[in-house]
Each structure stands twice: as C-alpha cells, then as structure tokens.
Amino acid sequence: MGHVRRRDFLARFGGSAAVAVLPASAFRPTSATAQIAAPPKGSSVHFALTATDGTAVTEESYRGKWLAIYFGYTFCPDICPTTMMELAQAFRALGQRTAAVRAVFVTVDPQRDKPDVLAEYLRTFDQRFVGLTGTSAQISAAAKSLNVFYERNDTDDGSYTYDHSSYIYLIDPGGKLAEALSSDRGSEQIATALLTLMSGTR
C-alpha cells in the first residue's frame, strides 16, 4: 500500500464493513518494521494506562479475559491499519467466542493520539477494540513489559513517524504472555491461535 496516511486510509475505505472485504495482501506493508524478540512465554504483563473514556486501567482490569495487545499509532502509514484489519476479521471469525477476548491498542504516540482520535480510529475497524494511552513514562513502562521497541523519526516536512515492533501479544486470563504473533499473520491464523489457546490445546 505504500505510505498512506491514517486519514487517507479512513477516507478511502470508510467504515469497518468496507475494510473487512478487502484481501489482506492489499494492505501488506512494503518494508519490514523494526522488531526485537518478544519476552518468553509465561512472562507477566504489567501496565498502568488510560482508556479513551478516561478510565484508569491496569493489567488487573482485564483479569479473566484473554487479551490481544498491539502497540502502534494512528498515523502509522501501513502496518498498523493492516494489523488492525486482520485482527478485526479474526474477531468476526471467532463469533461468540470474542466475549472472552479484549483487543487492546496501545498508542506509542500520545502527542497526536488524543483519546478522541484513538477512539475514532479503532471504531473504523471494530467498535469492541479498546484504545489505551498515557504519559510517555507510562507507555514506556508498558512497552518494556513486553519488550516492545519504538523510536520516533522526525521527517523533513516537520512531522514524524515511529519505527516500532509489530506483534500481537496474546495474554492469558491470568496476565501471562501466551503467544506473540508477528504482524504478517492473517486473520485466520490469528483466530486459530486464539481458539487453540482458549481451548487449552497446543
């Protein structure tokens, strides 16, 4: 897709219903995103952030639920909307089983991703998606909990982008990392991974 800005993506594809019917290959990023190794399976996850409605949340807020956590930003040109689209399709494939799962998008760009911006962005993919933000220190601490890399890059036009890890972190109901899926996984693979984990089989 090349470097398509967030607003261009939303304007071109409208709501989640329009996005859902497009093939995954149409949104594959043209270059690899920075990655570092995910923490070992079974690692505890910790964060203290704020939801788009102003509610303070921690990992304890989601005890008893499976989490699919992704770190990104709404102005991401390609890989973030691609991943959110795949995750939204995976949720639709799960059907009623999604009641046991929360999809959580943590912004690495709190300067631009104000709560209303973050909420609007996520509604484009699935109204059930949860957006979390916080201070730079809070986001940094949450990222370290999962070995997430992100780094700001200023551009010649006075704007900036972020290089960042691109994993979907699947967290079990006890707050432990169960799986880290790379962003090249399609919706069927994401749904299968969640169903396998929830059923207790490997």
pLDDT tens column, 77-120: 889 999 999 999 999 999 999 999 999 999 999 999 999 999 99
DSSP state at residue 33: P
- Domains identified in the chain, total number: 1
DSSP state at residue 96: G
In a domain? residue 125: yes
In a domain? residue 45: yes
Domain assignment of residue 38, given as a range: 6-199
DSSP state at residue 141: H
* DSSP symbols for 37-92: PPPPTT-B---EEEETTS-EEEGGGGTTSEEEEEEE-TT-SSHHHHHHHHHHHHHH
Helix axes 187-199, 79-94, angle to 10 degrees: 50
In a domain? residue 170: yes
pLDDT digits (tens, 9 = 90+) for 24-57: 333 333 333 455 677 889 999 999 999 999 999 9
In a domain? residue 36: yes
Residue 111: give its domain's CATH number.
Answer: 3.40.30.10
* pLDDT above 90 for 122: yes
